[in-house]
Structure 1
Amino acid sequence: MTGGSFLRDRVFPVASILLVIMVAWYLAAYWMNAPFQRDFDRRAGETRTAVEFLALTMSQPKPTMPAPHQVAENLWKNTLTVKPWSKRSLVYHSWITLSATLLGFAMGTALGVVIAIGIVHIPALDRSFLPWIIASQTIPILAIAPMIIVLLSAIGVTGLLPKALISTYLSFFPVAVGMVKGLRSPDVLHLDLMRTYSANKLQTLWKLRIPASVPFFFASMKVAIAASLIGAIVGELPTGAVAGIGSKLLAGSYYSQTIDIFAALIAGSVVAILLVSLVDGLGRLVNARMGARQP
């Protein structure tokens, strides 16, 4: 890809969407903060020019909708001006959430793969177990998370594991569904060829089904890692956690610190982007090593 085509196909579309988002964000900040500022000025008997009024709507200490530059300033202050291990640092809180995310993702991926292999090789599981797996995802995670936290706390299990289990609950499903599709993707002729070679089920699984499922596996993992992060954040909400992105969201809501809330949300989004990009890069590397054609 040449420099011109890279700018045209990658940089320009992303920059255009980002510009639209920023303009819409500033307009929303003005529209939502103006009533409070107008009422405040009326009570104080102040008369302001349009420029002064606009500037004040973009600099309120506890705005209804923080402006982008306020959130950017908060991110800069809480990431680059404090030590990463400080409890004021968003890096520290992101790491707390990330640790639960990775543990839950690892357990969810392993569980999803095992379930998929069982469904593909045991017809009874396909007819009896798969519908229950699908039905389990219709239950809101906000209803399940407090139950998991309370039940595990009753037996003395607290800390990282309860949050990881919530992440596991959200992440195993896309992996299981993707792997079932991938393990069933080999052509009938290829399966007949394996039977011609007298390959047993384990050999067919290892030599044919698993290699064929790799693209499906990494596609489902990108969904699962994002779901796992959501599970970790949601798992921090009912616990009154003192660390993690969820705790920053809770503290911001308690004290009406909307700037902190938006900064925490963006920190979580950055973590999600990094995780999905890491899985995508690993998938491309594995596919390349297996001889797959890259887009």
Structure 2
Amino acid sequence: MRHVLPVLAVVAAIIVAWYGAAAWMNSQWTLDQAAREGRELTIVDIVNDTMVQERPKLPAPHQVGAELWKTVVATRPGSKRSLLWHGWVTLSATAAGFGIGTVAGLLLAVGIVHSRAMDLSVMPWAVASQTIPVLAIAPMVIVVLNSVGVSGLLPKAVIAGWLSFFPVVVGMVKGLRAPEPMQLDQMATWNASRGQLFWKLRLPASMPWLFASLKVAVAAALVGTIVGELPAGATSGLGARLLSGSYYGQTVQIWAALVAAAVLAAGLVALVAATERLVLGRMGMRR
């Protein structure tokens, strides 16, 4: 219970601040409408109106909650109006991109640790790749892949993999280099081969670093997928919901999609954390 109370306190503070911001940002519309109609409003009238506007600048929490209920619970999951359906589309591309990024990151990290040439040549390029804004590269990736007949899930997965491989590279390089010199010397006295050194010492020592980087990578993969859905003019996925909401000024729809994306990200990070506890527990490590 003592761990839950701080979380609930933070959530309550966020909701209170959210309501206050919604009342402040939406009040100008209410005042303008009242001025046109020659009406005088009390503070209570203004606050009440800001909470029920159809297209507010900032939807109130209960409006977003009602939209989530309508599109998640009250809508059939297989319907294209359901956030569950759009969330599944985004999740599929995120999982594929996360897999691509993780495998690429692991392979690059192993090469960097075992090859000084790769350390000096590949690592700077890996760093440089993250300086390119994803909003700039996403349309190029989609156009190039579409020109060779590749469309659908794969272009979004490539963009997700682009964002997710870097945390894995950095984390695994640090983790594979984590063993102390004394441990490396001990393995050398046992005449351990390079493969035995990797499997018996370097890889087990890197596990905490790996899972820490995977938590960052899976969240980055979700961001990459949503960004990849925007320039493609997609009709499915959380990015498509954000795009269609911005086209028609449906701010409540936009915020509902944002909350759904946040919940999805939290679930993915929690899944990685659960896997971390299981794996490290099996290895006799405590986290």
Say which of 259, 262, 267 aligns to 2:255: 262
Q: Give the secondary structure class of the aligned counterpart of 1:119.
A: helix
Give aligned pairs, total: 287
Say which of 28, 34, 45 aligns to 2:27: 34
Q: In structure 1, what is the equivalent of residue 221 of structure 2?
A: 228
Deviations 1:165-190 (A, max 9, x none): 00000000000100000000011111
Is 2:52 aligned against 1:59?
yes
Is 2:159 aligned against 1:145?
no
TM-score scaled by length of structure 1: 0.96
Q: Which amino acid in the other structure matches residue 165 of structure 1?
A: V
Q: Which amino acid in the other structure matches residue 121 of structure 1?
A: H
- 1:111-122 residue pairs with structure 2 within 5 A? 111-122=104-115
Say which of 269, 272, 276 aligns to 1:276: 269
- State the Cα distance separating 1:293 from its structure 2 match: 2.4
Is 2:162 aligned against 1:162?
no
Q: In structure 2, what is the equivalent of residue 15 of structure 1?
A: 8
Q: Which amino acid in the other structure matches residue 80 of structure 2?
A: K
Q: In structure 1, what is the equivalent of residue 41 of structure 2?
A: 48
In structure 2, distance between residues paired with 1:149 and 1:39: 44
Deviations 1:181-229 (A, max 9, x none): 0000011111112122222111111111100000000000000000000
Q: In structure 2, what is the equivalent of residue 4 of structure 1?
A: none
Deviations 1:78-100 (A, max 9, x none): 00001111100000000000000
- State the Cα distance separating 1:242 from its structure 2 match: 0.2
Deviations 1:234-279 (A, max 9, x none): 0000000000000000000000000000000000000000000000
Q: Give the secondary structure class of the aligned counterpart of 1:174.
A: helix
In structure 2, distance between residues paired with 1:232 and 1:180: 25
Deviations 1:11-58 (A, max 9, x none): 111111111111111111011100011101111233333322211111
Q: Give the secondary structure class of the aligned counterpart of 1:288.
A: helix
Is 2:199 aligned against 1:206?
yes
Deviations 1:117-136 (A, max 9, x none): 00000011111110111011
Cα RMSD after superposing both structures: 0.9
Q: In structure 1, what is the equivalent of residue 167 of structure 2?
A: 174
Unaligned runs of 5+ in 2: none
In structure 1, distance between residues paired with 2:25 and 2:182: 62
TM-score scaled by length of structure 2: 0.98
Is 2:68 aligned against 1:71?
no
After the TM superposition, list the runs of 4 or more consecutive aligned residues in structure 1 that deviate by more than 6 angstroms.
none
